[in-house]
């Protein structure tokens, strides 16, 4: 049974540079969650107290050892030996060798081998989608000006795709990239977030088994757990033909510059500062649960989380009151309980950022009408928070804080609120709630939302694999998953 939720693998603490095998005091090892009976399923996934974080056909790792912690109680789960720069270089070499085999297999068979189960159903879905897509990728045959000739548009794999993923979707985002890259004929090198290294190892073990069972080189889907040194190496390495990076805008800018310096390709999925707009004709029975789900889901740690809620002045007070009542009914608790909607933040640092943002909102004239505090319970739990009274252009409202803070604003008319939606630097997701068909088409048109994902009467969070996922401006401009996002992973010749 596969159960390794995002909430499980978190805060990474460096503990050792000693080469393996690694000795630890027996008393300490017994305190790891992996050794407790209720977490026996971790070992069913092939995880151990000490795990090797490099895979290139064989497992290894000569870097630092990190400990991962559970954000629900801050107890240690297990340890992972990360990659050294030498491990990275060796893995790239093996991945390049594996590409010579995989490029031919993909072209001949037209489908991927792995439809692994994962923490997120989306990985399974994208594998299913990719299998079908592999039979449809093609280029047109065009008439030529030269007699007796034709123009053929040919698409070929780029080669090695580097994939750097964030903590909040440690499986799905890798799946989006991995499945599509593979059916295009590429090999992949994955570096997950250091704080979710156990998930990276567990997923790679599943993929490795599928590849090895089919007598294919394991290096087709390589893994190098590591920190900024490995990420920098990937960004600067000319052998990495495409680098897909998911993370903050600040780090994404650095990655983009390093890749561009070598005239490489990058696919960036960065920050979001997403808005919901509720007009006076909106169905409030849709607005309230949608705003709650978008603002509080994943404890506000999605790139598509709703952080701004613009409400027409005629219904502002009613919406805020309904939201407060809805927030009071949120079930908080163990993230593995199917009845719980709201769990902990990822790390203690995330809690500090939450508190800092709440204080800054107050300084800028905002009023906290719900939440705003740390919960009195083990783990990294904070109260889901609603802030009103800020100016639409307040600096804190233009800053993406990865936490469950919703800023609510009043607006007067369509023109001003469309402009307010677009005035932030990010451009990922947006949504309006209205019954006016004319307004809906204006929202979808050139003078409407400037985001990559434009919704009507549904939340900002979430995405369907059949469409291209990504955003504009400081969100990076990249597109993953469906539609023609596959073109990122291929090179075109005519």
Q: For residue 484, with 0-12 CB atoms within 10 Å meaning exposed, 13-18 middle and 19 or more buried, which class applies?
A: exposed
Residue appearing with tokens 């540079």: 17
- Give Cα separations from 321 to 289, 300, 318 (angstroms): 13, 20, 5
CA 224/CA 54 separation, integer angstroms: 5
Of the residues 50, 269, 383, 400, only one is catalytic, namely 269
* Two structure tokens written together for 46: 């092939």
Residues 468, 270, 61, 217, Cα dihedral to 10°: 20
DSSP string, 263-326: T-EEEEE----EEEEE-TT--HHHHHHHHHHHHHGGGG-STT-EEEEEEETTTHHHHHHHHHHH
Q: Which residues contact 78 (CB under 8 A, 6 or more apart)?
A: 32, 33, 34, 42, 47, 48, 49, 50, 51, 67, 68, 198
269: annotated active-site residue: yes
Rounded to whole angstroms, the maximal C-alpha distance in the chain is: 81
CA dihedral over 422, 428, 434, 438, signed as positive or negative: positive
Residue 398 Cα to chain centre, angstroms: 21
Backbone torsion region of residue 444, taken as left when φ is above 0, otherwise alpha when ψ lies between -120 and 50, otherwise beta:
alpha
DSSP string, 82-103: ---HHHHHHHHHHHHHHHHHHH
CA 363/CA 399 separation, integer angstroms: 15
CA 80/CA 51 separation, integer angstroms: 5
Catalytic machinery residues: 269
């Amino acid at each position: 049974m596969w159960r390794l939720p995002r909430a499980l693998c978190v805060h990474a603490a460096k503990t050792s540079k000693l080469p393996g095998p690694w000795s630890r005091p027996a008393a300490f090892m017994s305190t790891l969650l992996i050794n407790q009976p209720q977490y026996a399923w971790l070992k069913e996934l092939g995880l151990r107290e000490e795990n090797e974080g490099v895979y290139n056909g064989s497992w290894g790792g000569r870097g630092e050892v990190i400990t991962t912690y559970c954000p629900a109680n801050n107890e240690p789960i297990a340890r992972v030996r990360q990659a050294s720069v030498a491990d990275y270089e060796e893995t790239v070499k093996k991945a390049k060798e594996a590409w010579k085999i995989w490029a031919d297999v993909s072209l001949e068979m037209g489908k991927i081998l792995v439809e692994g189960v994962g923490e997120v159903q989306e990985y399974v879905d994208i594998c299913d989608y990719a299998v079908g897509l592999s039979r449809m990728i093609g280029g047109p045959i065009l008439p030529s000006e030269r007699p007796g000739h034709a123009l053929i548009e040919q698409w070929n794999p780029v080669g090695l795709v580097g994939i750097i993923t964030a903590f909040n979707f440690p499986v799905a985002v890798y799946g989006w990239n991995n499945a599509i890259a593979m059916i295009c004929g590429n090999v992949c090198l994955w570096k997950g977030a250091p704080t979710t290294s156990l998930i990276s190892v567990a997923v790679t073990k599943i993929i490795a088994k599928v590849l090895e069972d089919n007598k294919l080189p394991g290096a087709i889907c390589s893994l190098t757990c590591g920190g900024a040194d490995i990420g920098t190496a990937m960004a600067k390495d000319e052998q990495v033909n495409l680098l897909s990076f998911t993370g903050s805008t600040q780090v994404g800018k650095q990655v983009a510059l390093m890749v561009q310096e070598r005239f490489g390709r990058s696919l960036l999925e960065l920050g979001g500062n997403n808005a919901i707009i509720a007009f006076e004709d909106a169905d409030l029975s849709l607005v309230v649960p949608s705003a709650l789900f978008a603002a509080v889901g994943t404890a506000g740690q999605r790139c598509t989380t709703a952080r701004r809620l613009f409400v027409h002045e005629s219904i502002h007070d009613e919406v805020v009151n309904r939201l407060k009542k809805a927030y009071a009914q949120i079930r908080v608790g163990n993230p593995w309980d199917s009845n719980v909607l709201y769990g902990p933040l990822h790390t203690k640092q995330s809690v500090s950022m939450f508190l800092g943002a709440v204080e800054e909102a107050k300084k800028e004239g905002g009023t906290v009408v719900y939440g705003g505090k740390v919960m009195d319970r083990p783990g990294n739990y904070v109260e889901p928070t609603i802030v009103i009274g800020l100016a639409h252009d307040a600096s804190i409202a233009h800053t993406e804080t990865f936490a469950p803070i919703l800023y609510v604003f009043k607006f007067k008319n369509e023109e001003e609120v469309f402009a307010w939606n677009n005035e932030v630097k990010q451009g990922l997701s947006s949504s309006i709630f209205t019954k006016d068909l004319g307004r809906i088409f204006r929202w979808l048109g050139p003078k409407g939302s400037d985001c990559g994902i434009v919704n009507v009467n549904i939340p900002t969070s979430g995405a369907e694999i059949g469409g291209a996922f990504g955003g504009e401006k400081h969100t990076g401009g990249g597109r993953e998953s469906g539609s023609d996002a596959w073109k990122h992973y291929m090179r075109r010749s005519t």
